[in-house]
Every structure is written in C-alpha cells, then in structure tokens.
Structure 1
Amino acid sequence: MANYSLKQIAKIASVLWKQTRMNFKNKETSSPFLKTVKIWNPNLDRYFELKMMLDTGCEVHNLITWDAVSALQLMNGINPRTADIAICLNGEPLSSIGTLVLRWKGKSFRKIFTTTFQVIDGVSLPWDLILGAQEIEEHGILRFAGFAGSKHILRKEKKGDKAKAEDRRREQDKKAEFNKVKVDNHKRAKEESSTTSKS
C-alpha cells in the first residue's frame, strides 16, 4: 500500500466528495416531495435550478440555505435579521440570518410564485429550499402538474379483475331487470285497482 501524506489524502477525499455530490445533484430524486425548481435572479436575468422540499409539517417558515443563496448570487438581497425561528428535534434552536424574497416556478410550468424565505446555515443537505405548509396550502402547490399534482395514478389490473367486474355488471343488470318487472307489476296492479274502484 502506498504511503500518502495527510494533505494528499485530504485532497483525494475532497475530489471524491465533490464527484459524489455532483452525481446526486444531477439525479432526480424518487421522493415526491423533493422537486427541482427554477429560482429567478433579477441581477443576472436568468433562472437557477435548485432542489425544493415540500414540507407540509413545517408550519411556520419557508427556508433557504446559505449555500443556495451563494449559488444564486443573491447575498445582497438578504434583509439581515438574526432570530431563532424554531427548535430542532435535538433541542437546538434553528437561527435565521435574515429573509430573502424570491421569485420561483416549478421546473415544467409557467406560473411564477413570490415567496419570502428565512436564510439558514446549512451544509450538505439534500435540499436547498423548504416550502412550508402555509405556502403550499395558500397556492395549492400540490395540485400543479409540475409538482406531480394532476397525475392520475391508476391501479394495476389483475387477471381476475376483468372477469369479476363483468360478473358484477351482469348481476347488477339482473337486479335492475328484476326491479323493472316488479315496478311494472306494481303499476299495473295499481291501475287495475283504481279502474275497479271507479266502476
């Protein structure tokens, strides 16, 4: 085995980490709540693609990581205001560096949303932004086709399902025919009784 210096090992690890991160960033996730969105940068007059987590359990704030703000090159757009905005599961407070108003849209549709995000410190997270429950509800985000809304999920038909459906249809037709005969007989009996009572 070759002897590597600590500096060489660190460099190799850094390169491997960057390659791994790039591979994961380029792949579309299988999570239905982690979506690619396009964020508008008015200074550069273009969109940037980032990963947004749709979190219906986050009831208070929309979040964006400092790394995402840096990638968007919108550090000057932050309204600085340090505050503890939530308590994490480990009991530590989640602190906001400030707020940032962003215009964004889903990757495959035209409607543009304007949303205020709390900027937080975040390193190596699977998402760049979190959209909270209030915003999801207010704009009906989950109904948009660009966010996997309006996609009808049809259940897979099994071999016996068609035969069972046909049997049910025949049974229902028999019951309908029986009811029709019963109603016709009742009407006829009612007419006969009314004609005999009149005479």
Structure 2
Amino acid sequence: MEDQKQTVLITGCSQGGIGHALAHEFASKGCIVVASSRSKRTMADLENDSRFFVQELDVVSDESVENVVANVIEKFGRIDILVNNAGVLCIGPLAELPLSAIQNAFDVNVFGAMRMIQAVVPHMAARKKGKIVNIGSIGAVSPAPWTSVYCASKSSLHSLTDTLRSELHPFGIHVTLVAPGAIKSNIANVAADNYNQMPELETIQAI
C-alpha cells in the first residue's frame, strides 16, 4: 500500500501558512507528506504527527536542497509532487528598500523555486512522471503600493512556470501555477517584523 501512495514534498510549511495547510490537506488524502521549512521549530505540531516526514530545508542553500531531495528519494523511493510554496513578503517603498532585502526576496521566491525544480526534475524525468506546483500570487497581475518587490518576484515565478510547462511536458511532468488572492497567514506578520528590523530607511527628499 505504501508504494501506491503519492509522495509530496512541500516547502515553506511553517505553522500558520499555506504550506502548513497544504501538508494537512495532502495527508488527509492519504499521501506521504514531506513537510519542510528552515526550522523544525516552526513545524513542531507536524513533527509530532506520524503522517509527516519533517525536514529542515533552506531553499536558498544548494546543499540543503540537494540533501533533502536525496533523503526523500532514499527513504520513499520517489517524489511524485513538488509544491514550491516557500516565500517571503518584502514590503516597503521600492526607492528606499535595501538592495539586500530585495535580493533576499528574489532568492527565496524565485531562485528558491528554481533550485527545487532543478533538484527534482532529473528524478521525475527518469520516471516519466511527476507534478510541480508553484505557489504564485494574484499580486503578480494586480500589484499594490509597497509590494513591488514581492509582486515582481511572483510575476517572475508565473512566467517561468508557463515556460517550464512546455519544456517538461515531453517528460511526463505536469507543471501547475496556483495564484491565491488574499489569504490569512503569518507571512504578513513576518514581513512586518523584518521591515521594522531594517536599518533606518532613507527618506527621499523632493528636489
């Protein structure tokens, strides 16, 4: 029976977020769920539940991504579904945001997904089977003030998803984009905390 279950790897499963909710939903459907985030501490409730295989995974680290993917394949023999959910909400006026904060947002939201995709595609292509789900945002098509960086990163994710769908179709790999609207989660709270901890932002003076 274990061989008949779908193995799902989800990034960004911290409690209170979309990934955490998806982990529970996949588990309720009888899937083998690999729940991951940068710290097991943020998934304590999942770690104590036998339905989940909890892994610490930092999507901005090549080594972390490679190790977790290898661990999952070694333990379960395959990855049927990858859900790229890990993301950060970089907020603030674009003209004043530190470039380091902008780079971090793209590293997590865009390059993080790319790292995961490059790590699992050879395995899925060898099996001629797999599904990749990228969690985008309605903000990619309907941006709002102070969210330019986040919206731009999600727009990039939308574009690469559309391209990837065509590239991977011949290998039996299906690529899906999910673009949620307003979702009650902890991502905004984390973003606000990060913004408050930034060095004092320079005020633009009118000339």
TM over 0.5: no
Q: Which has the larger radius of gyration?
A: 1
**As a proportion of its length, which structure holds more strand?**
1
Q: Give the TM-score taking structure 1 as reference length.
A: 0.20
Higher share in helix: 2
What TM-score, normalized to structure 2?
A: 0.20
